[in-house]
Amino acid sequence: MISSTQRRLTLIVCLAATILALDQATKHLVLQFLNHREEKVVLDGFFKFVNWGNTGAAWSLFKDHNGVLAIVSALALIGLLVWHRHFHIETLLGRVSLGLICGGIAGNLIDRINPAGEHQVVDFLRFYLVTRSGEEIGFPAFNVADSAICVGVSLLIILSFRLESAAAPQPARRRETEPFPLESPRTPEAEKWNGTP
């Protein structure tokens, strides 16, 4: 009989594997149809497919430090697997977030250690705008793995806030059966003020 823990881990692994497969499949298609640094406009002035290699982290931070980033990614993936119980996997949102993060890290890690891809992460989704001067500005190119990591981290933050709110002490409420006082108690001082002998 499958335990609840095994069912939880099965969902995490299946989701991570799905993200990994989707990430690698889309990158393979990009490499097949677009040359390096080539672009294919889908919505002019808004969205296009690109084939940009990234040897850095998100938004090209730590560029040309691919080896170090590969080690960091591998350690992060191992850490997530070892300490998965600390990510609220008893909740569906926790399991989904962990599966997305693990799948995304694994997808980019494969790119970093793949010699056929020149140890570069393939970024191919590019949203942008064109200014009046013709200059292109926009969000840095990203991929499926990046999206999964961002969504997973966002879900984990939302979950943490929800759990903190649920754990916060609630103000005491008056019980419905507790009677409300109908009048103030009769004291000599109150009778004096009311003119009662």
Catalytic residue selected from 44, 64, 111, 146: 146
* Chain centroid, CA 2 distance in Å: 28
123 is catalytic: yes
Catalytic residue selected from 23, 44, 111, 123: 123
Nearest to 145 by CA among 51, 3, 20: 20
Q: Where are the beta strands (DSSP E) in the chain?
A: 39-43, 47-54, 121-130, 136-138
Rounded-to-10 torsion of CA 66, 71, 73, 78: 170
CA dihedral sign of residues 144, 109, 124, 128: positive
- Gap between the Cα atoms of 50 and 20, Å rounded: 20
- Residue 6 near residue 97, CB atoms below 8 Å: no
Position 75, amino acid: L
3-state secondary structure of 50: strand
3-state secondary structure of 178: coil
- Gap between the Cα atoms of 178 and 69, Å rounded: 63
The catalytic site residues sit at: 123, 146
